[in-house]
Structure 1
């Protein structure tokens, strides 16, 4: 969890509302949020575009492999747009305030998070040629006592935006899962890798994972299974064994927030190769 410091100050001037759009994620852990400036703030020309809560995210581990990064508690992602500002604030000028604590932006693994529930790339305006619009990530305890706010420390006065992220105050999910594949498949056919998850926690969330292919297509396939507490669901990922030699064993790496496994499928040796399915 990132460093935190006690939040002691209150803000003193009146301000404008921040802007917020809907988040585009396919497996959203939270409803489409809204944001406004908190009472008694001055809003500079920086806008909150989207916010979402996630308990894990996918990231590019290498060119054709996805890793999964779970939170110790939860991640609050916030997309900010500082393009109208005369002076673009540094990443370190932002923090998340909740329950009397102030959280610094988390170091997102390799800056290559993918398929997030907020738009844009990582907010890094100090990089050469970077667009001063992007997301910040904050890691907080799994259940907050009050809705968080985004704070920007900047002259002549700081500003805060209230984030309508109800999931941040909900109990977290917990997961049990399994994966199922056929033991053998015919040459040059497709088949399904089925991932089943059950939410055994007390709150809603999305079970986020990835299947990493190593043959014949070297690429990851992400999956999100949104589940309320007590619900189960299954997501399938299609795989193929094009041009695989009969008798070959092909491995698929399945990664989730609560563990990983490798499944093996054997190409049948007694089938006739009839061409790519």
Structure 2
């Protein structure tokens, strides 16, 4: 088999910082109305509820649940392609938010994350309204999507004993301003077990990608990634294969690595084997943290045979 092409990457690039919030961890002078099924945590502050509980505010029942942490986000950058947004000295926190009722859906800007007394606003720069594929799926919470995720960006490791998600009480209208720190309408306490991963140092991934220059048209194309976590903390290496012809689409790659661990991940590209006519080449890109490598692999024995092409144009 012809020798392959090899591309080296090191995932240590720092992405732009997320939007900063203007909340603090102060107690609210306004007590939220709990739904009958909600039950506060035994260790929560008097005006706090447990993550997963519901709070009724201004005719809307709001639930914050399913906290997930990550050091990278894979998202849909085009209808048939994905990209990966990494971090270096910070990390992402995602929660699921749902709101329903006769009142106005609270703006996403009214939510914040408070670590001890340090506030962080919602929103992840550069992703915008794009659909996220991992570590959560779907679209961001908002007025047009009242059941979706909210993302926050915080330091890694996070030096905090307590973490909570708060909803500001600055009214139901949509605004680009963060909630008033002296007017918090609801507070969801994050359990200690979910805070522990936030205190871990971040991973640092280094990886190489190996793809052959050509393969027989009857065989799949092997794609090999050698990945090493050179950081002091565990994490998930996220990447994607973006097919760019003749078929278009994207395939995600997720591998968990402990600090110092190395793995070899093998995947194949073989959709062309189901086609009636095998193409002469296949094109795709492998993307990940600080990685965007394009490959064009020849298929020996594929393509339209000489002299059988369809004629175009008028007669002479």
> What is the TM-score of this pair, normalised by structure 1?
0.78
Stretch of structure 1 that moved more, 8-17 or 142-151? 8-17
Contact 2:205 2:231 in 1 (8 A): yes
Distance 1:15 1:71, change over 3 A: farther
Question: Post-superposition shift, 1:256?
Answer: 0.7
1:141-184 deviations in whole A, cap 9, x for unaligned?
Answer: 12101253111112785221122242211100000101122332
Larger displacement relative to structure 2 (86-95 or 49-58): 86-95
Is 1:53 equivalent to 2:69 in the alignment?
yes
Q: CA deviation at 1:76?
A: 0.5
CA distance in 2 between partners of 1:233 and 1:225 (Å) = 9
Match of 2:163 among 125, 145, 148: 148
User: Is 1:255 paired with 2:287?
Assistant: yes
Asked whether the equivalents of residues 44 and 189 of structure 2 are also in contact (C-alpha less than 8 Å), the reply is yes
1:139 to 131, 140, 153: 153
What SS class does the counterpart of residue 46 from structure 1 fall into? strand
Report the equivalent of 2:211.
Answer: 181
Kept after mapping to 2: 8 A contact 1:46/1:85: no
Give me the CA root mean square deviation: 3.1
| Whole-angstrom distance in 2 between the partners of 1:85 and 1:37 | 32
Structure 2 match to 1:32: none
The CA distance in 2 between the partners of 1:89 and 1:36, in whole Å, is 27
Residue 261 of structure 2 is aligned to residue 234 of structure 1: no
- State how far apart, in whole Å, the 2-side matches of 1:162 and 1:85 are: 26
Between Structure 1 and Structure 2, whose CA radius of gyration is higher? 2
1:124 to 128, 142, 155: 142
Residues 231/75 of structure 1: CA separation in 2 closer, same or farther (3 Å cut): same
Larger mean Cα displacement after TM superposition, 113-122 or 256-265: 113-122
Q: Distance in 1 between matches of 2:223 and 2:42?
A: 43
Distance 2:223 2:102 in 1: 48
8 A contact 1:4–1:101 mirrored in 2? no
Bigger shift: residues 162-171 or 236-245: 236-245
Partners of 1:14 and 1:39 within 8 A in 2: no
Deviation at 1:117, TM superposition (A): 3.3
Deviation, structure 1 residue 208: 0.6
Give the TM-score normalised by structure 2: 0.69
Structure 2 residues without counterparts, runs of 5 or longer: 1-16, 49-54, 172-182, 306-316
- Kept in 2, the 8 Å contact 1:51–1:118? The answer is no
1:121–1:86: structure 2 CA closer, same or farther, 3 Å change rule? same
